[in-house]
Homo-oligomer: A and B are copies of this chain.
């Protein structure tokens, strides 16, 4: 009986350690997602681009795919130039592969900016970001998003 209790305790400890390790890994990926959000919301062009892999891609709505730092920088610069841009995003789902080198965050965004006629344009939508680890650091491989709102004119 003593041995059985001891073995059950060992199994429980191993399982808890594995759950805690997985939770810590997911929190680290959520932290990367929100660290990227912070430099993006601050319109820090260099830091926002540096979160992306050299072969990373941003897939924005109503524009072609931007692959590589030069194309991504051009895309982000256009975005940051929107008058009075405010943006917020938060992950609602996180998944990391068992091998730990690949992960996904997905969540929701809100943004607003001043339109050509001076009125405030608001948007809300969702995103999926695919991350890869490079030298132990989470970097963006793919980032895609789209609006929840009906298309203009519908």
Contacts and interface: CB of A to CB of B under 8 A. Distances in A.
Interface in A135-154: 141-142, 144-154
A130 interface: yes
Interface residue tally on A, bucketed by range: 35 or more
Interface string A107-130: 000000000000000000011101
B62 A104 contact: no
A48 interface: no
B62 A149 contact: yes
A88 B103 CA distance: 28
Interface string A86-120: 00000001010111111010100000000000000
Interface string A42-67: 00000000000000010111111100
A62 B153 contact: no
Contacts of A60: 146
Contact of A148 (B64, B146, B153): B64
A147 to B, nearest CB: 6
Given A60-B146, A144-B144, A154-B62, A128 B128 contact: yes
Contacts of A64: 148
Contacts of A142: 93, 104, 106, 128
Contacts of A93: 57, 142
A97 B149 CA distance: 34
